Amino acid sequence: MERIREVPLVAGGDDNVWPATEFAERIVASRGARETRVVTLPAAGHRVVLPGEQPKTAGQRMARGRTDAADRELAWPEILRVLAG
């Protein structure tokens, strides 16, 4: 039996690695009536930046998304809301 009450899916609206928002909506559809919420910002890119982290600057060079600020803002408030629930 699944005990997970709610699943937040984080998807950057400007993800240049893959179609994150489309993939997230497919997951929502596949979960049926179970509560699943997509959290997205149009300017956020591929990688979420959580509090205390720095945006990645090393590794393979790729177009990840528009702004580091949006990547920071994207998920943390929603993650805290779900954890507090």
CA pseudo-torsion sign 77, 39, 51, 43: negative
Residue 72 is predicted with a pLDDT of 77
Structural contact between residues 36 and 7, judged by C-beta atoms closer than 8 angstroms = yes
Q: Which amino acid is at 9?
A: L
Give the global pTM.
0.71
* Tens of pLDDT, residues 29-72: 998 878 898 988 888 888 888 888 877 766 665 556 667 777 77
